[in-house]
Amino acid sequence: MKLICPNIRCKNPKVYKSGSYFRKSDSRLIQRYRCPRCLKKFSASTNDLCYRQKKRRINAPLKKLLCSNVSQRRAALILGVARKTVERRVAFLGKLARIEFDKFWQKQEKVEKFQFDDLQTIEHSKCKPLSVSMAISENRKIMGIEVSKMPATGHLAAIARKKYGRRKDERQKGLLNLFKKIKEITTQNPEICSDEHPFYPPFVNKIFPESNYQRVKGARGSIAGQGELKKLRYDPLFTLNHTFAMCRANINRLIRKTWCTTKDPSRLLDHLYIYAVFHNEILTR
């Protein structure tokens, strides 16, 4: 990698070595450089995304723990760091995962077949549900993720309105954003499959007007797979449902009966992107 002076006014491409230093955070010897024009000194890690992190050695194991059904509190205990450190690092790893996620799909061929649906979870309480819109390719790769707020339904609707007030339904906006993102990595006329949710067809026709869109009648969930797998001999949405089951099994806050709940939807999205990279590059390699 060719180094240049990080000084915006200089940008000198000719820099010289100027000693080194030992970095405690990961026990590495880091090379220092010096610009002969502006006399600015910098190191090989100045422009690194992990710059000034004091415990960068926990990044790699933390990603694996977050994708292996381990909560943030337990991950902090295992790694021997503060809970606040893990909380901040999840936000950082989420930003890093988005970059890796985009790079992964830039290297892949255009997707010809994919399935999509919504996975429901909660924000702190069952009275504040969240919808996770996700698209899955034919070879079980996660193509895109969106987290949207939604109002409570059923017998909890009146309780939720009384306790927390009216809650906006952002599912349609989230689904539209999801389709706009994945349109860049799909062919012009992809084969799309989903269940018979009433507000899906208008958005599919708007973003993918030339697609071959099929709707499948939903089925009752089985005990296995956190209720995501269906009681069918042949499930047309098996790729999608199996991926949802893997998400619930590997992300602690998505388990159906758990006390580890999401407090901030943006952190849930960070966690989902961290898992999506792990899922695409390791679990479905």
Quote the pTM value.
0.90
Query: Quick one: pLDDT at residue 132?
Result: 96
How much of the chain is helix, strand and coil, in % rounded to 5?
40, 25, 35
Query: Quick one: pLDDT at residue 3?
Result: 81
Query: Quick one: pLDDT at residue 160?
Result: 95
Q: How confident is the model at residue 24 (pLDDT cuts 50, 70, 90)?
A: confident
Helix or strand run (H / E) with residue 154: none
Query: Quick one: pLDDT at residue 1?
Result: 58
Does residue 67 surpass a pLDDT of 90?
A: yes
Q: What is the residue extent of each domain of the chain?
A: 1-48, 61-283
Query: Quick one: pLDDT at residue 179?
Result: 95
- Across 109-118, average pLDDT: 94
* Token pair for 100: 């890796």
Task: Provide, rounded to the nearest whole percent, the portion of the chain with pLDDT above 90.
Answer: 70
Give the strands of the sheet with 28-34, arranged side by side.
16-23, 28-34, 41-43
- Across 179-203, average pLDDT: 93
Q: Tell me the average pLDDT of the chain.
A: 91
Query: Quick one: pLDDT at residue 234?
Result: 87
pLDDT tens per residue, range 169-183: 999 999 999 999 999
pLDDT tens per residue, range 198-245: 889 999 999 999 999 999 988 887 877 788 888 888 888 999 999 999
Contact status, residue 215 vs residue 199, Cβ threshold 8 Å: no
- Across 160-168, average pLDDT: 94
